[in-house]
Every structure is written in C-alpha cells, then in structure tokens.
Amino acid sequence: MLKVDFHTHSLASHHALNSIEEILQQADQLGMAGVAITDHGPGTDNSVQIAQNPNSAYHWSERIKGPDTHFFKVFLSRYEAPRNIQTKLFKGIECNILGSGDEIIDLPKNLAADFDIVIASVHPLPYIFELQDQKSVADRIILAMDAGADVIGHPFHKTFELDQELIVAAAADKGVALELNNSSLRLKKALESSILKMLGLAKSKGCKISLASDAHATNELGSDECIRPLLSQSDFPEELIINNSLESACRFVNQRKKIRIERVV
C-alpha cells in the first residue's frame, strides 16, 4: 500500500468511478497519509474537434470527455476535505502533453500557481497527441518539463518506446520526477523490462521517481503490487522517491510549486 498516492481520478474524469469524497474516505480508512486527486486536464475533451471534422476516420467512441477549467477553479479555490478525514489531500491535475503547437500542456495558466502537483502525460488520442516518431514524442515530453510539469506520468508506454537515456537525464537535470505507475504495469500498458531500465537509469543519474496507483476506482487506491517488486529488484534508493512519506511529498510539492509559479504565472 502506498503511503502517499500521487495519481488518482475521480468522477470528474468521466471514465473514473468514484467521487472525490469517496476517494478521501477510502484513503482515510486505509490509513494513507496523503492522496493527490489528479483529474485529466481540460484538453482531454476532444469531442469538439472530432465533431468538427466529420470526414475524419475517428469513430465516435474515441471522443473523450474531461473536466473543464471551471471544475479546477472550484476544486482549487472552494473545495475542502471533510474535517474528519486525516489523509492529506493534494490538489492536482494530470495534464495532457499536446502533440503539436506552442501550447505544450493543457495546464490552465491562471490556475497554475494553485495546484499542489501537476502531472503531464502523453495520451495517444485523436486531436490530443498523434504519435509520430520517437524523437518528436521525446522532445514534447522534455518541453513539458519546462512548461509547469512536476511529474511525467507513465513515461514509458509499450506502444511508444522512447530514448530513455535522454528523458531520464533531462528529468534529473530539471528536478522533475518520472512516474512509476502501478496501473500501467497491471494493465500491461508498460513492459516490466522497460520500467526496470527506467529505474536503473534513474538510480545512476539521480532522477526522482513518483509512486502512483493511477486509480480509476476506490478499489485501486494506493495499489502498489506491481511496482514494489521492481523497486526491490532495482534496490532503488528511498531518497529518490518523492512520495515515500508525507514529509518527502510535502517537500517536493513546496519546491516544485515555487518553480512552477516562476515559470508559468
């Protein structure tokens, strides 16, 4: 069980199954020290673009809905966890790394200073990220590190093998964490061999790692059954894990928030 889970989704992401309070209550019952609610960025809503391109080959089922900027505004400025909940709530977002254009991630800029944690991930969906060559995917991921991302979500997916040396070195240099995502391994979206390679490189280059369930339902909250064996196999140093305790999680959040405010706001 993760002490602090830095990546979970609520009903606001439309394809996840529980409310924010159900997640918090479950985290509290499990005795977790912290949980980040990181619903998908507003760019996930690709339904408008698909509707505007009736001749495209994309099927209606590829329309993805996500919460809009107003959801994040209320979440950040007005929502508070119930008083009886001991688990610390981190208010986050999982931004989309956008495949092209000057905007690198769909982080609402007017709210950038208010998030505790900003994850940025490649989601290969129509009109969000059309996968091209490995080099251009890696370039966009590295640009995201300077565009407000604190963590790169599920960085090594089996459908887009990337230059791991390049990405791990850039993350280490910029103080951005790479994510060790339990769902990616459980759902076989990432290869164990690739994740072990990431951990080996991270260890040698001093790159930080974030532990995450990427829960889409409360039964997945805090899950780490697929990532723990890889951490032990790599003999991964605790000091490089940003959310091994509430103290380390808060330290990372405070450091990155200052950097994000200087860069984005």
Chain residues binding Zn ion by CB under 5 A are: 94, 121, 153, 214
Closest to 7 in 3D by CA, of 161, 153, 196, 133: 153
Query: C-beta of 34: minimal distance to Zn ion in Å?
Result: 17
Q: What is the DSSP letter of 6?
A: E
Nearer CB in complex with Zn ion: 160/203: 160
Whichever of 14 and 205 has its CB closer to Zn ion, that residue is: 14
For residue 117, what is the enclosing H or E element? strand 117-121
Least distance in Å: CB of 38 to Zn ion?
Answer: 7
Residue 76: both structure tokens together? 């950040």
- Which C-beta is closer to Zn ion: that of 188 or that of 251? 188
To the nearest whole angstrom, how small is the minimum distance from the Cβ of residue 214 to Zn ion?
A: 4
We find the least distance from the C-beta atom of residue 235 to Zn ion, in angstroms, to be 28
Q: Which amino acid is at 43?
A: G
* R_g (Cα) of the chain, nearest Å: 17
**By Cβ distance, which residue is nearest to Zn ion?**
121
Give the residue carrying structure tokens 């076989």: 188
Give yes or no for a contact between 23 and 221, defined as CB atoms under 8 angstroms apart.
yes
Q: Which of residues 26 and 121 has its CB atom nearest to Zn ion in the complex?
A: 121
